[in-house]
Structure 1
Amino acid sequence: MDLTPAAQVRLTTGGLTLRPWTPEDAAVLAELYRDEALRRWASAPVHDETDAARWLAEQRRGWETGERLAFAVEETGSPGTRPAGNVVLKRRATPSSSAEVGYWTAAHARGRGVAPRAVTALADWAFATFAREGLLRLELLHQVDNAASCRVAEKSGFALSGVLPAAPPAFPVDGHRHIRQAPTAA
């Protein structure tokens, strides 16, 4: 499967479209990151359009290597809408039985089920797309004090499997690990 952004992988589900981020998204990305909550929970800081362009270039490289497949989440039927969030599949360089899912939701889209729908769509796509490579398990990790992420994980079919100890400076607080297993063949 061609995993470059030029392949234009698009997923649609429950009123959402997931598409690869593009360089044209820099201004809106910088605007979305003005939200204090997003900056608190997101791992990569974006302070301005220069940072946004850098972040977008990293996402493009992730598609080129196949190691970080990030999608802008848009609500369908809203012309000219800002992205409602981001979902990402983080894979290892070599085929592995597990990968990690990450996400964030823009302030204007919180509380409407955008994150669980987007995470579920990404997980379903990942299992279908990478089954031949042996993908059997997805992990969703978050800080223990992020109750909203616990709810998103549970609504997306990720069961809480344990607590991860803090590992400062990158992970200053304990975390939760949620797991979703690949569907079994019927």
Structure 2
Amino acid sequence: MNSQPRAPLLMSGSVRLRPWRRGDLPSLLDAYRDPAIQAGSRAPVADEEAAERWLRDQQEGRASGLRHSFAVVDTALGERPVGNVVLVRSAPGSQAAEVGYWTAAPARGRGIAPRALAALTGWAFTAFAGDGLVTLELLHQVDNAASCRVAEKAGYGFVDVLPASPPWPLDGHRHARRAAGHGG
């Protein structure tokens, strides 16, 4: 069972995915000042203490093998993180996992989110193939048309509409992608 793969550097063109670092906290705080990121977040980051807690949660999640969060850097824009992608598994050996992402306002509309999500997807299906992972799901509220476009560009087909459920006030969309050889 491969529940704790090494944290890699993932690449897709000028987009690089790497584990979050303490030095990234100013970028994290800047991103979470954006109302669009706040609206889509299950755990908003409002101050330095919350940013430190968020970083610890990512590190603990990686250590447990259940949460793999990556800072997204586009070298065309510099070396600071401009986004986040994450893979969340409910348990080792799960056949399905959830992916999520956010992109800071200056990086939106540049194709960064779909490239980052595609890099995460490829890594996840490779890293956890021997552990049974065959399906990745991306969830978002119905009013988030940009997330629908990102999902489609990254190969995540629309599956169904989910009823509103706290903390989400609106219905949601579920998109999914299956590993090669498993109907994907």
Q: Match for 1:49: what amino acid?
A: E
**Alignment of 1:3 onto 2:4:** yes
| Counterparts in 2 of 1:115 and 1:78: CA distance versus 1, 3 Å | closer
Which residue does the alignment assign to 1:65?
64
- Which runs of no fewer than 5 residues in structure 2 stay unpaired? none
Q: 1:45-68: CA deviations, max 9, x gaps?
A: 111111111111100011010111
Which residue does the alignment assign to 1:182?
179
Report the TM-score, using the length of structure 1 for normalisation: 0.91
In structure 2, C-alpha distance between the alignment counterparts of 1:165 and 1:28, rounded to whole Å? 33
Q: 1:75-123: CA deviations, max 9, x gaps?
A: 12555x3211000000122311111110000111000000000000100
Q: 1:111-149: CA deviations, max 9, x gaps?
A: 000000000010011111111111111100000110000
Which residue does the alignment assign to 2:26?
27
Asked if structure 1 preserves the Cα contact closer than 8 Å seen for 2:85 and 2:101, the reply is: yes
CA RMSD of aligned residues (A): 1.7
| Equivalence map 1:89-100=2 (5 Å) | 89-100=87-98
Question: 1:145 pairs with 143, 146, 162, which one?
Answer: 143
Q: Match for 1:180: what amino acid?
A: R
| Larger RCO (CA within 8 A; separation ≥ 6) | 2
In structure 1, C-alpha distance between the alignment counterparts of 2:112 and 2:41, rounded to whole Å? 17
| Equivalence map 1:167-178=2 (5 Å) | 167=165, 169-178=166-175
SS at match of 1:38: helix
In structure 2, C-alpha distance between the alignment counterparts of 1:8 and 1:40, rounded to whole Å? 28
Asked if structure 1 preserves the Cα contact closer than 8 Å seen for 2:3 and 2:128, the reply is: no
| Counterparts in 2 of 1:172 and 1:2: CA distance versus 1, 3 Å | closer
SS at match of 2:25: helix
Asked if structure 2 preserves the Cα contact closer than 8 Å seen for 1:65 and 1:93, the reply is: no
| Equivalence map 1:36-185=2 (5 Å) | 36-76=35-75, 79=78, 81-167=79-165, 169-184=166-181
Q: Match for 2:86: what amino acid?
A: V
In structure 2, C-alpha distance between the alignment counterparts of 1:24 and 1:82, rounded to whole Å? 9
Greater alpha carbon shift after TM alignment, 153-162 vs 45-54: 45-54
Q: Match for 2:42: what amino acid?
A: S
Report the TM-score, using the length of structure 2 for normalisation: 0.92
- Which runs of no fewer than 5 residues in structure 1 stay unpaired? none
* Superposed structure 1 runs of 4+ greater than 3 Å apart: 1-4
